[in-house]
Structure 1
Amino acid sequence: MVSFMIFGTVGFMWLEKDFTMLDAAWLTETTLLTVGYGDRLPKTVSGQMFALLIMPLGVGIVAYAIGIIAGSVVEGQLLNFLGRRAMETKISKLKNHIIVCGAGRVGWQVAEQLSKDDVPFVIIDSHIDILQQYGQQNLLFIQGDAREDDVLRQAGIDHARGVVAALPTDADNVYIALTAKGLNPDILVVARADRMESEDKLYRAGADKVVSPAVIGGRRMAMSILKPASVEYVETVLHDKEHEIDLEEIVLREHSPLTNKTLAEAQLREKTGAMVVAIRRGQELISNPRASQMLLPGDLLIVFGTRNQLTAFELLASAPKKP
């Protein structure tokens, strides 16, 4: 368009000797934009022929350029709108999912682990530039303030499994814990705490579990100095993507064939290859249970093994009890 504007201005100045640069530019622009005021007209035959030449070419170029610009704007807005609507539809269908409040460094680690375990989740953050990185990974997100009731309802807190409060400030995480428990008293809330003195406040606000990245990082650094081989082993079996070893929590139901049996009688290691490392019974935690430990209905078993072993363990625990 600019090149054609220059071409028309120079052409009219060369053909119409009494035209100033402003006259030539005016006539060129009115021709290109089809305004046609009529106050500037070519007086010579060559000028009129030149005008006839640039009219269809210029109008075509302008129409094409405007179409490209308008199409890009409309198409971009339309794609964003359709993508947003499709994501909102997916979020509204989520059940038993996790709501991650905060898309920063801690939130990203939570999202990676949930993705690895194929657990449905939605991320809430107020910064769209950060959320766009999650969108590139085809992850579900909502732009908004996670402290607000409407935003948490939009994320499906009424039928969610849990909430992770991973915002940078402890005050915001306290507010999220209060809001989440107010909307869904039965939901599990795990909150991040940067300061030790904030842990009690988070528990009083309704958090079921408080995690301090600074405390965990400090303990791991100390253990890396004191017991490097042990830390390396734990890192390898739990965090190395080349290994499939993982931990799983399995609740024993009344009809499970494992209930009212000892670990020795159940022969879990022989049948599945997985190992029971702990049993939670109410408020009691039984670590490294003995072979004589009885399994009761309602026990939560913490099981260690590969993904295939854990799957076999789940199938065995959920199988109907033989008469």
Structure 2
Amino acid sequence: MNRRYIYIFILSTVTILLGTFGYMIVEHLSFFDSLWLTVVSVLTVGYGDIIPLSDEGKVFTLILIPIAIGIVTYSLGVVAASIIEGSISEEAQKKKMMKRINKMNNHFIISGFGRVGEKVFEQLQNDKQQVVVIDEREEVFEQLRHKAYVIQGDATDDSILIQAGVERAKGLVTTLPDDANNVFVTLTVKGMNPNAQVVARAEKDGSEEKLKRAGADRVISPSHIGGIRMAMSILKPVSTDYVDTIFSSNNENYNVEEIQVSGHSSWHNCTIKQLDVRANYGVTIVGVKRGTQFIRNPAAEEVIQREDVLIVLGEQAQLERFEQLV
């Protein structure tokens, strides 16, 4: 607790106790009447039902009231200052946050911070990505404002997306529970930044096609994926547990990375066997994306080409070293 509030409490308590016992002594009043007279005097209410009658009581009141008024004035000043400072501090924090967001490039935006949005946020944070969260609810803003970049507002509003830096963003994940809103957000984002990757949540069966027509690069149905995972958990529990260890946010040492072969890479026209990736780098190439073609479980004789995207599995330190070489 703020020390100033402690001082106010102590001073107020001491003043009321002194006034109460003072009136008991000089006016010979009961404890309750003395307490009543002290409180109405301190608060300058003055009901007049109980008043000091003796000269000693009047002198005591003349001393008590200025002291009490000073304490009350000080208390009101402290409370008012705290409210003003809090408002100013909050406004300053918002401006500081907006300045940092305005400097961001290639960041990610999350629209909606429900159960799905929260998991997306955790995964991106674990991957050390810059993230801006948009949510209408004040409790979400209060929850995140000290540990993340968050904007309180409606993601379907163009001005809110602009505040989040959508024109400079690398991608946006819209996790709103309403499919129509996700379609609207997708259309708006693609209109502002056609190069931004958009991943959209879909709840209804017919919404996936609509979201793709709106421009979504990926459409994810949590209920569909959840159903498949539950079925796989009962049919192939060991395999499911293994996949979970790879994608679990708690497993920071083991990961999957997408690594693009640069145009000047010495690996061009080399086979996976020649590179002996597993022995030399401790990672495994589990897939290759070449243009629109996806090569799953590539053979040892597969030739690596420039601009190929390699899907690589391994420990994080090994993946980072491998990416630098590629």
TM-score when normalising by structure 1? 0.85
Segments of structure 1 that go 5 or more residues without pairing to the other structure are 18-24, 318-323
Aligned 1:80-119 pairs, distance under 5 A: 80-119=90-129
Aligned-residue offset at 1:79: 2.2
Q: 2:16–2:38: 8 Å Cα contact kept in structure 1? A: no
Is structure 2 residue 276 aligned with structure 1 residue 244? no
Letter in 2 for 1:46: E
Measure, in 1, the Cα distance between the counterparts of 2:58 and 2:249: 77
Q: Which residue of 2 aligns with 1:194?
A: 203
Q: Cα distance 1:26–1:182, how it changes in 2: closer, same or farther (>3 A)?
A: farther
* 1:235 correspondence with 2:244: yes
For 1:77 and 1:240, locate their aligned partners in 2 and report how far apart those are by CA, in whole Å. 36
Alignment partner for residue 145 of structure 1, among 146, 154, 158? Answer: 154
Q: Deviations over 1:208-242 (max 9, x none)?
A: 10000000000011111111111011112321625
AA aligned opposite 2:75 = A
The amino acid of 1:158's aligned partner reads E
For 1:106, give the aligned amino acid: V
Q: Which residue of 1 aligns with 2:5?
A: none
Amino acid at match of 1:199: E
- CA contact under 8 A between 1:177 and 1:202: conserved in structure 2? yes
Q: Give the number of equivalent residue pairs.
A: 308
Instruction: Please list every run of 5 or more consecutive structure 2 residues that lacks an aligned counterpart in the other structure.
Output: 1-11, 29-35
* Per-residue CA distance 1:158-191 (angstroms, 9 max, x = gap): 1100010100111110010011011111111000
In structure 2, the residue matched to 1:21 is none
Secondary structure at 1:123 match in 2: strand
Match of 1:212 among 208, 221, 226: 221
Question: In structure 2, the residue corresponding to 1:290 is in which secondary structure?
Answer: coil
The farther-off stretch of 41-50 and 234-243 is: 41-50
Q: Residues 236 and 243 of structure 1 are in contact (CA less than 8 Å); yes or no, is this contact kept in structure 2?
A: no
In the alignment, the residues of structure 1 paired with residue 120 and residue 39 of structure 2 have an alpha-carbon distance, to the nearest angstrom, of 61
Computed over aligned residues only, the root mean square deviation of the Cα atoms, in angstroms, reads 3.0
User: 3-state DSSP class of the match of 1:294?
Assistant: coil
Match of 1:321 in 2: none
Matches within 5 A, 1:237-316: 237-239=246-248, 241-242=250-251, 244-316=253-325
1:54 to 54, 64, 76: 64
For residue 276 of structure 1, report the CA deviation from its aligned partner. 0.9
Give 2:278's aligned amino acid: R
CA contact (8 A) 1:125 1:145 kept: yes
The C-alpha deviation readout for 1:243-279, integer Å capped at 9, x for no partner, is 6211101111111121221112222222211111111
Shift of 1:56: 3.2
Is 1:192–1:212's contact at 8 Å kept on the other side of the alignment?
Answer: yes
Counterpart residue identity of residue 189, structure 1: V
Output the CA distance in 2 between the equivalents of 1:240 and 1:152.
28
Residue 75 of structure 1: CA displacement? 2.3
Q: Structure 1 residue 47: deviation in Å?
A: 3.9
The SS at the match of 1:76 is helix
Q: State the one-letter code of the partner of 2:84.
A: V
Aligned to 2:164: 155
Asked whether the 8 Å contact 1:277–1:287 carries over to 2, the reply is: yes
Checking the alignment, whether the CA contact within 8 Å between 2:126 and 2:252 is kept in structure 1 is no
2:4 match: none
Render the CA deviation track for 1:72-120: whole Å, top value 9, x for unaligned. Answer: 2122212212221221122111110000000100000000000100011
Shift of 1:134: 2.2
Paired residue secondary structure (1:99): strand
Return closer, same or farther for 1:113/1:28 CA change in 2, 3 Å cut-off: closer
